[in-house]
Amino acid sequence: MKNFLGVFIEPSGSLLAAIEDRKSLLESQMPDQPYTTAPPHCTLVHGRYKLVHKWTKLLARALEAVAPFSVSTSGWQEFPADPMTLGGHTVAFRADLDRNLASLQQIVAKTVAPYAVLPLEQHPLRSVEPFAKSLGKYGSAFVGPHWIPHFTIGSPRVAKGSKLLEDLTAGNSKHRFSVEYVSIWQAENDSHRKLFEIPLGA
């Protein structure tokens, strides 16, 4: 497979509006920074997976038993010197990792795991635990208790405490919306194309 695939939660309501506003601000002040033009989302899994049409059907069947639920954000999340963006300062809305969200990630990860394309020699976290174990098991580095669910604004290459970061994290970080579906995307760097949507509780 040439491209990576991601299974995402897409925000709605006030959170979507807040992310879009901040992405626009970042793009206007520092164009072409990593993640800025990516669609607003929270990543459940991201990796290289074969036979996407096959596991999409399996995932749809598994998600029939999952009722829609609410996700809340209650603070800011920053990843200084983010290895995933070669040193950018990633800034995001942090989502609350509750039982519903953790369970959804596990269902998705266990469904796609048999279709992971391994090894992932080029992954920046391939030799760092617990990410390496997650990569080996699921083909995605952030599955499990170490996952920090978040909705990224962007990853500008600025120093911690910069005025731009202050502007991006100004205002209300508390939002709540209902997760009604997950979506599957071709997702590599900032290039994204939606392939499917799978409803919860269908």
The per-residue pLDDT for 1 is: 41
Q: Smallest Cα–Cα separation from 138: which of 119, 101, 120, 112?
A: 112
Q: What digits encode the pLDDT tens for the residues 147-175? A: 999 999 999 999 888 999 999 999 999 99
Tell me how crowded residue 137 is: count the other CB atoms within 10 A of its CB: 15
Tokens of 64: 């029939």
Asked if residue 132 has pLDDT above 80, the reply is yes
Angle between helices 52-63 and 99-112 (to 10 degrees): 150
For domain 5-199, is the CATH number 3.30.70.260? no
Q: What digits encode the pLDDT tens for the residues 54-82? A: 999 999 999 999 999 999 999 999 999 99
Asked if residue 109 has pLDDT above 50, the reply is yes
Q: Highest mean pLDDT range out of 126-130, 176-180, 189-193?
A: 176-180
